[in-house]
Amino acid sequence: ASWPTSGEIRVENLTARYSKCGPAVLHNLSFNIHTGERIGVVGRTGSGKSSLTLALLRCILTDGTVYFNGLATKEINLENLRSNITIIPQSPELLSGALRYNLDPFDEYDDATLNAALKASGLYALHTDPGVEGRLGLDTAIASNGSNISAGQRQIIALARAIVRSSKLLILDEATSAIDHETDAIIQNTLRTELGPDVTVLTIAHRLQTIMDADKIMVLDGGRITEFATPAEL
C-alpha cells in the first residue's frame, strides 16, 4: 500500500517560532497520537493551538521531530506532506469558481466521488446564504475568497475536500467567531459518522460539548501541554 497507511503521529521535543529571532510559541512538546484517535485540543486564546497545527505541517519554523505514519516530516517533501494531512483552518480560503473546483482543483475525481463527499460532509443539508442560489451543488459558484459563504460553511467545504482526498489525518481549527449551532452540529456529525476508523482527527474546539466524546483531550497553556488525558480522567 502507498504511504501513508495510517494517521499515527509521534511528536518529540517540538519547539516552534514564527521567525528566526522571534519567541518560541510552542515549548518542547512531546506526545503520541494513535491512528484513528479523536483528539480535542483546548486552551485559551494565544495558547498555541493554531501554531501547533502549523508546526505539524512545517508551515512555521520548528525544532524537534514530528513523525507522521513512522516517517519524520523533515524527510517528506512539503507537497507530499501537505497533500496527505488536511488542515481545516479557522477561516479556510476558497478558490473563486465552482464548488467542484474547490473540492477537486486538479480535476482528479469523478462526479460520483465528489457528490458522495458533498453528501457526507453535510453540504447538501445546508441552508443557503443570500447570494447562493438554491442548494449547494457541484456547480454552485463560489465568489472570490468565498465571501458568499460563512466561515463555518467554508470549513464544511474544506471538510468535504478532505473526504474527497481520503486524508488519514485531519486537523480542524474550529471557526471561533459566531460559529452557529447548526454548522457546528453538521461538522461534528460528519467527523463522527463519515470518516474511516483509521482516520485521526484533531479538533481545536471552543465548545465543551464538541470534545466530550473525544478519545483524549489536550490542554495547551502558554505553548505547553498541561493535560493530555481521556475526558474521564480530566
Which helix (H) or strand (E) segment is 49 a member of?
A: helix 49-56
* Closest CB to Mg ion among residues 50, 183: 50
| Distance in Å from the first CA to the final CA of the chain | 38
Residue 134 per-residue DSSP state? S
Out of ligand ATP, Mg ion, none, what residue 124 binds, judged by CB under 5 to 8 A for its kind, is: none
Out of ligand ATP, Mg ion, none, what residue 48 binds, judged by CB under 5 to 8 A for its kind, is: ligand ATP
For position 50 contacting ligand ATP by CB under 6 A, the verdict is yes
For position 48 contacting ligand ATP by CB under 6 A, the verdict is yes
Helices and strands per DSSP (H, E), number in the chain: 7, 12
Q: Pick from 6, 35, 50, 73: which binds Mg ion (CB under 5 A)?
A: 50
Contact region with Mg ion (CB under 5 A), list: 45-53, 103-111, 133-141, 144-152? 45-53
We find the least distance from the C-beta atom of residue 125 to ligand ATP, in angstroms, to be 27
Burial of 106 (0-12, 13-18, 19+ CB in 10 A): exposed
* Closest CB to ligand ATP among residues 25, 99: 25
For position 47 contacting Mg ion by CB under 5 A, the verdict is no
d(CA 48, CA 133): 39
CB atoms within 10 A of CB 46: 13
We find the least distance from the C-beta atom of residue 129 to ligand ATP, in angstroms, to be 24
What DSSP letter does each residue of 206-230 carry, written as one string? SSHHHHTT-SEEEEEETTEEEEEE-
Measured in degrees and rounded to the nearest 5, phi and psi for residue 5 equal -100, -10
For position 49 contacting ligand ATP by CB under 6 A, the verdict is yes
* Closest CB to ligand ATP among residues 51, 84: 51
* C-alpha separations of 36 from 39, 167, 185 in Å: 9, 12, 21
User: What is the per-residue binding string for ligand ATP in 28-47, x denoting contact by CB under 6 A?
Assistant: ---------------x-xxx
Out of Mg ion, ligand ATP, none, what residue 17 binds, judged by CB under 5 to 8 A for its kind, is: none
Q: Which residues bind Mg ion (CB under 5 A)?
A: 49-50
Q: Which residues bind ligand ATP (CB under 6 A)?
A: 18, 25, 43, 45-51
